[in-house]
Structure 1
Amino acid sequence: MRLYIDSADVKQIALLNEYFPIAGVTTNPSILVKENRPYLEVLREIREIIGEEKELFVQAIGDTAEEIVEEAKFINNELPGNVIVKIPVTDEGLKAIKRLTEENIPTLATTIYTAFQALMAAMAGAKYVAPYVNRIDNLTGNAVNVVAEIAKLYKTYQFETEILAASFKNVQQVHAVCLVGAHTVTVGPDLIEKFIAFPATPADVTEFKNQWQKAYGLDKTNLVNS
């Protein structure tokens, strides 16, 4: 299991990257536009924060396979490090994924709503597929079942393509897709912070500290008392 930040907010990315086991950052056109500044400037800042080993996902917006391939090459030339090009699963998108796979440029097939879309993307050579969990729930039904079906198909036919589940509104959705076989997830900053939030945890920490201080005095730690 790997965790990605779904954001282009460099301050939030820097904070989460410091504290959480982050594997990289995913972006899309909507996320980048919100930053209201040149997108390459934002992406380069993200790269500086996460380093060159972690994956940075950038979406192509061309309509034809030729345009998408050209964009993918431009993105890879402009950004250092480990870059994954996101491509929507359309007929032109699949064509582009096939061509980029032949040229060893890794891709993520995005806007996945059905298991068969994910199967076609894997057959075309995509490194990742991104089922839109909350959107599937809202539009067509049970997203957890879709993710489970994708995982089963990939296991049956021994595809190396990984499921990078996206579009979450609550922690339970993330938990559910992890249980049925999602290899990775990409989640917004606000939701990531909720992963470890539970009322009993700080209460327990306070109780432990109070007991320790009663026994050994204020401001005493294991190091002081060793």
Structure 2
Amino acid sequence: MEFFLDTANINSIKKGIEYYPISGVTTNPTIISREKTNFIELLKNIKSILGNNKSLHVQALGTNAKNIIEEAFYINELLGDNVYIKIPVIPEGIKAMKSLSEKNIKITATAVFTPQQGLIAAKSGATYVAPYVNRIDNISGNGINVINEMYKLFEAEKTQAKILAASFKNVEQIHKASLAGAHSATIPLELMEYLIFHPLTDVSVENFIKDWEDLYGKDKTLLP
């Protein structure tokens, strides 16, 4: 599974990349607005941190195909390689996806709530399709089932699109999404850190150190 950071916070991105196997960063208008700064400079800054080997996903704000396409070309030219344009799965968005995919613009379909929305986006040229797990759960749906059904559809249709699971509130949701067939997940840094946290791990490390230091002395490592 690929892991993406769902943030536009520079400090979180730097820390995430330093410590964890991050494939890129996803943003949306809400996430960017939280940083309360010039959004163009912010995106450039994020891209410079990521380099060309990690991807940046930026959402178009237009609600008609013409505007979405214009924004997509602008962002693609502004930020360069390995940039994905996030486009909601509304009719005008699907229209834009079809056009942009023919021009080799990378696309992430967003605001996905049903398997059929995901399939239509995939067949319209999206590389990533992002179902909102927790938001589906919040309206008495089942986000994990949506991922699993979407995965089965993608397999049956032999589409190359990847499921980029989004909208998580806890580690269990992420774990179940990976078992259900999600190829990738986008999560905030806090949840990324919780993915490897377990109190017994910390206790084990403390016991190892105590046993070692009881015999060899404090702060003594394997180094000479």
What is the aligned-residue identity percentage?
48
Report the counterpart of residue 65 of structure 1 in structure 2. Answer: 65
Report the counterpart of residue 202 of structure 2 in structure 1. Answer: 202
Distance (whole Å) between structure 2 residues aligned to residue 177 and residue 12 of structure 1: 23
Report the counterpart of residue 93 of structure 1 in structure 2. Answer: 93
Report the counterpart of residue 136 of structure 1 in structure 2. Answer: 136
2:179 matched to 1:165? no
**TM-score, normalization by structure 2:** 0.98
1:14 maps to amino acid: K
Distance (whole Å) between structure 1 residues aligned to residue 145 and residue 34 of structure 2: 32
Runs of 4+ in 1 over 3 A off after TM superposition: none
Runs of 5+ consecutive residues of structure 1 not aligned to the other structure: none
Q: How many correspondences in the alignment?
A: 224
2:196 maps to amino acid: I
Report the counterpart of residue 23 of structure 2 in structure 1. Answer: 23
Distance (whole Å) between structure 1 residues aligned to residue 23 and residue 160 of structure 2: 18
Where do residues 5-84 of structure 1 align in structure 2 (5 Å cutoff)?
Answer: 5-84=5-84
The alpha carbon displacement at 1:222 in A equals 1.3
2:5 maps to amino acid: I
Distance (whole Å) between structure 1 residues aligned to residue 129 and residue 178 of structure 2: 15
2:105 maps to amino acid: I
Distance (whole Å) between structure 1 residues aligned to residue 208 and residue 33 of structure 2: 46
Report the counterpart of residue 122 of structure 1 in structure 2. Answer: 122
Cα-Cα RMSD: 0.9
Counterpart of 1:223 in 2: which secondary structure?
coil
Distance (whole Å) between structure 2 residues aligned to residue 218 and residue 76 of structure 1: 54
The alpha carbon displacement at 1:142 in A equals 0.8
Distance (whole Å) between structure 2 residues aligned to residue 166 and residue 136 of structure 1: 11
Distance (whole Å) between structure 2 residues aligned to residue 14 and residue 146 of structure 1: 32
1:3 maps to amino acid: F
Distance (whole Å) between structure 2 residues aligned to residue 125 and residue 7 of structure 1: 25
The alpha carbon displacement at 1:140 in A equals 4.3
The alpha carbon displacement at 1:189 in A equals 1.6
Counterpart of 1:129 in 2: which secondary structure?
strand
Runs of 5+ consecutive residues of structure 2 not aligned to the other structure: none
